Structure 1
Amino acid sequence: MTKKAIKANVKGRIQGVGYRASTHQKATRLGIKGYVKSSSGSEIEVVAEGEEEKIEELIQYLQEGPNKAEVEDFSYDWIEPTEDFIRFAIKYEV
């Protein structure tokens, strides 16, 4: 099976609504590896690697997020998979 990867940016009212946690749960259920992290107060970055159909399912989810999220802008680019990830993680800035 061919591995695919994306780097996505999500903007909107996505802090404090469980966006990172729910993205982690969804990606883990889909068998996707990579990470989700806040890149600013109203922006989240996602890097995800996995089977193309699973990545496409995650893309659909990222555009909506959990119930209380308000996604205002969503973009992603297909990137080369690195296979550096062992699981999907939430990265916290220190």
Structure 2
Amino acid sequence: MDSPQAARLHAIIKGRVQGVGFRFFTMQAAWTHEVTGWVRNRVNGDVEVMAEGKKEALDAFLIDLQHGPASASVQDVKVEWQPYQGEFTSFNPRETI
């Protein structure tokens, strides 16, 4: 997928995003938008996401992250766009850091 349309998204989601199904929601959204990468909780209460795919798919994925599941309350999403690296083949949860 190494093309000008491919990108990498690193996001930190803040708010009431742990204990509300946010990681499962994120995995479902990743599969829906066909992006690869990972999601994990952070000990400070945030959720961190690293995702790769087509820029258009990542834009749609980011909109989902900004809303979250109905049980969550997203206060802020810090986004960093990076060059595509082709590092992932699927989208999975990772251990809390």
Tell me the TM-score normalised to structure 1 length: 0.92
**Runs of 4+ off more than 6 Å:** none
Q: In 2, distance between residues paired with 1:32 and 1:11?
A: 21
Aligned length: 94
**Superposed CA RMSD:** 1.4
Alignment partner, residue 90 of structure 1: 93
Q: Among residues 9, 26, 29, which one is paired with 2:29 in the alignment? A: 26
- Report the structure, 1 or 2, having the larger strand content: 1
Answer whether contact 1:15 1:41 (CA < 8 A) is retained: no
Following superposition, the deviation at residue 73 of structure 1 comes to: 1.4
Q: Deviation string for 1:28-80 (max 9, x for gaps)?
A: 12110000111224201101100111000011011110001001111101011
Following superposition, the deviation at residue 20 of structure 1 comes to: 0.3
Alignment partner, residue 79 of structure 1: 82
* Aligned sequence identity (%): 32
